[in-house]
Structure 1
Amino acid sequence: MANGGSYLGRVQVLRFFAATAVLFAHLQHEIATRLPAGGSFRPFSLIDGGFGVDLFFVISGFIMYHVSADKFGEPGGARTFLVRRYLRIAPLYYLATALMLAATFTFSGAVSIAQPDAGHVLASLLFLPATNALGQPVPVLKLGWTLNFEAYFYVTFALALLFSRRVGLTVLVLVLSAVVVVAQLVPDPPVWLSFWGQSLVFEFLGGVGIAMLYRRGMAMPLAGAWALIAASLVVLALLRAGGAIPYLPRAVYAGLPAWLIVLAVVAAPFAQRGGAMTRLLIAGGEASYAIYVIHPFGIRAGALLWARLGLPPQPWLYIATLMVIVIAAALAVNVLVERPLDRALRRLLDRARRQAPVAAMPRT
């Protein structure tokens, strides 16, 4: 391809920055609400850390199409895709959800989430949108709302894989777009419709579009890519500073800059040097899911430890320290939990697939 080689390392680095943006935003919120110095703290707010989520959704669409572009219409392809994606996100999320449930019932009152009932827990584990006791459309682990979107993308993309590529892509666009349109037309839509009917789905579709361009050899000069990234961030900051965000769909004010940044990252020949910093950034990208899932626990534990040790309420020192601790913990979780679980589950899946034809044969 004419775009400077493999995209994977570049995308992993972008994933790392997306995850740390979310972590940074939540640390600022922790300071503003819990630390003694929170009242005088002036957070950096020109670019909302939630923008990391928009980057994740665009990246998700890019990766999903790029690695599955040759699987459309393949017998069993949709099922294999769906099972593999489920095994990728479910184990760590279930562990984190179990930990949150344990914390909720063990430290009732000290953990700021609503007491879940059985139905809400089940919906959370099935990646289905449902309201909690406070009427919020979030799962037990609040940040899991993004995974409810990811699961939705997985299912609709698996549906698309049942058809030829051209028909499948048409189905994907029509289904996701139709849900958004219907959600706007129905006077009082159910939770699942109002949730999945948000404009965020167009960020995912934008990522699919980038993958299509990439596979056709799309290329961009390095200087142009840096200019596009800088311009996207400036526009995002100006929209936020100018108070325009409440009047625009998220897919416009955040999704479009995210789309342009991902486009620039995958299309330009960014050098991937083999130095320690590059390896660390790529490792951080590989651990980005762990950073995202475990960081609420790391932030809360860090705040308690900070107070217990009587450390000074220095906001930026607190942010820097906790970011290092959470990222280090996520790297450990990725190496010691995520990867071994993924390998074990893949072996089980491969074994079941090999044994299936044998089990289906009639006995003689």
Structure 2
Amino acid sequence: MVAGSASNAGGRPRLGGVESLRAYAAFAIVIFHVIHLAQAPVPQSLEFMKDFFGYGVPLFFVVSAFSLAYGYDGRVFGDGRLQEFYLRRLLRIAPLYYLALATWMAAMALIGGPPPSLSLLVLCLTFLFNLAPDAVDGIAPASWSIGVEMLFYVIFPFVMALARTLPRAILVTVAFGGLALVFAATGTRLKLNPSFVVHGLLFNLPYFGFGLIAFRLSQFASPRLGGVLTIAGLVMTVAMWASASMLAGRIGWTVNILYMMAWGAPFALICLGMALRPLAILSNPATEFLGKISFGLYLGHPQVIFVLSQLGVYERIQEIPGGSGVTFPLAVLVTSAALIPIAWVLYAFIERPGMELGRRWGRRLRAASSAPARTADGLIAAQAAPPSAEQI
């Protein structure tokens, strides 16, 4: 059974450890893009960040599936709950995503960049861009994962119905793995946009499946195992990283795809451990706060890196003596210092109001859906009861 702190809006304990994982995932991507977008030189000892910190997004997917299952298990169907689920998910994502879309388009217009085509804009506004090979990455940087996430929301209630038990969750994940392999093979054979393959929903479904397995395990695992499972997951993560250099050039295409999907396993172990009993060194008020604002950190960081690059901040940092051992941490620190306050403002004034609106409208939807049943029950009771003095 999971161990949480204060109750959330749904009445279930809030999982601070899982929320902290969102912070780690977000900052892995921030660092990844400081390297690739800001062109910050990396010390040789940190070269692994160039490739492996990109796995922050799969970690997001594992945590997302776990969190959704934790919050909605047994609460999706009946009395308007399905409509409520979709509405709340939309209002959780859309406000900040649309803002990121608008600000990026404005930034591109200011520097004289070409406007997006009408078809691309429509696909992005309707969250369907992940289905189009030439539009899969969207308009706003890093938004491809939002396309994956929104499509997963569509199928999530039905996936949960299939994955009602641990064995079923494992079977669903295996099926997701098969779909990912077929999708990757088909995309490669048809010479589709490589980003469409790697950033497509089908390719990323196994990560969500691992999150569902972790949730089902959390329903009967002892909290005392939390620390052990987290450490085991971290050891597996290091082993996955270490095995990459040994496997490089020695494995075929299929094994390479399986290797990428297998990253969901250590992430699921870490997620399970942090849900059962988080390690204090990994989960604390600071990491929980950063996890709470992680969506803003994720969607806002490309714009922050872009602005700092336009202002020449990264160039000035590279002029500081000491080499990459000094300039790289400084570039990450400056980016984070600019990003965190912005993400907090976005959470306070965009995300939180959207979530509160989703809760209010969701309750109304559910009440409206259950009203006809209550009315019918009331009519039957009224017909069976004698008239009151007021009715006469």
Aligned counterparts of 1:43 and 1:302: Cα–Cα separation in 2: 25
Aligned to 2:138: 139
**Bigger mean CA deviation after superposition, 329-338 or 14-23:** 329-338
Q: Is the 8 A contact 1:72 1:160 kept in 2?
A: no
Q: Does 1:20 align with 2:27?
A: yes
Please state if 1:151 is matched with 2:153.
no
Report the CA distance between 1:152 and its aligned residue: 1.9
The answer for unaligned runs of 5 or more in structure 2 is: 6-12, 321-326, 376-392
Q: Give the equivalent residue in structure 2 for 1:290.
A: 296
CA distance in 1, matches of 2:172, 2:262: 23
Deviations 1:217-236 (A, max 9, x none): 44443552353143123213
Query: Is 1:279 paired with 2:285?
Result: yes
Could you report, residue by residue, the CA deviation over 1:137-159 in whole angstroms, capped at 9, with x for unpaired residues? 31111311111111121111133
TM-score w.r.t. structure 2 length?
0.74
Question: What is residue 339 of structure 1 aligned with on the other side?
Answer: 352
Specify the alignment match of 2:323 in structure 1. none
* Cα deviation 1:282-341 (Å, max 9, x = unaligned): 111110011001110111112233449956634222221112221222122111222123
1:140 partner SS: coil
How far off its partner does 1:208 sit?
0.7
What's the secondary structure of 2:215's corresponding residue? helix
Indicate how the Cα distance of structure 1 residues 243 and 327 shifts in structure 2: closer, same or farther if over 3 A, else same: farther
| Distance in 2 (alpha carbons) for counterparts of 1:25 and 1:2 | 31
Q: 2 CA distance for matches of 1:12 and 1:137? A: 28
Offset of residue 271 of structure 1: 4.5
For structure 1, which segment, 181-190 or 202-211, has the greater mean C-alpha deviation from structure 2 after superposition?
A: 181-190
Give the AA of the match of 1:341. Answer: G
Does the 8 A contact of 1:179 with 1:193 survive in 2? no
Could you tell me which amino acid in structure 1 is paired with residue 190 of structure 2?
A: D
- Aligned residue in 2 for 1:127: 127
The answer on whether the counterparts of 1:124 and 1:140 sit within 8 Å (CA) in structure 2 is: yes
State the 1:259 CA deviation.
1.9
Match of 2:80?
A: 76
Q: Which moved more, 1:255-264 or 1:165-174?
A: 165-174
Distance in structure 2 (CA, Å) of the matches to 1:168 and 1:223:
26
Change (3 A) 1:261 1:190: same
Residues 190 and 331 (structure 1), Cα distance of their counterparts in 2 relative to 1, 3 Å cut: same
Matched with 2:384 is none
Where in structure 2 are the equivalents of 1:4-19 lying within 5 Å?
6=13, 8-19=15-26
Per-residue displacement from partner, 1:2-60 (whole Å, max 9, x unpaired)? 7587561111111111101110111122342xx6xx5x865823242212111111111
Structure 1 position 359, deviation (Å): 11
Cα distance in 2, alignment partners of residues 216 and 185 from structure 1: 37
Match of 1:257 among 266, 283, 286: 266
- The letter of the residue matching 1:20 is F
Q: Confirm or deny: 8 A CA contact 1:72 1:162 kept in the other structure.
A: no
Write the deviation string for residues 55-86 of structure 1: whole angstroms up to 9, x where unpaired: 11111111111111122543432222122111
Report the AA paired with residue 142 of structure 2: L
Match of residue 45 from structure 1: 47
Trace 1:1-364 onto structure 2 (pairs within 5 A): 1=1, 6=13, 8-32=15-39, 38=41, 42=44, 44-47=46-49, 48-71=52-75, 73-109=77-113, 115-128=115-128, 129=130, 135=134, 137-160=136-159, 165=164, 176=176, 179-180=179-180, 182-183=182-183, 186=186, 188=190, 194=197, 195-198=200-203, 200-221=204-225, 224-242=228-246, 244=248, 247-249=255-257, 251-268=260-277, 270-271=279-280, 278-307=284-313, 313-314=319-320, 315-316=327-328, 317-351=330-364, 354=367
Aligned equivalents of 1:142, 1:216: Cα separation in 2: 40
Deviation of 1:177 after TM superposition, in Å, equals 5.6
CA distance in 1, matches of 2:38, 2:88: 38
Name the CA shift for 1:44/1:240 in 2 (closer, same or farther; >3 Å).
farther
Take 2:33 and 2:314, find their aligned partners in 1: how far apart are those partners? 21
- The one-letter amino acid of 2:18's match is V
**Aligned CA-pair RMSD:** 3.8
Cα 1:307–1:213 change in 2 (3 A) is: closer
The share of aligned pairs that are identical, in percent, is 24
Q: Which amino acid aligns with 2:138?
A: P
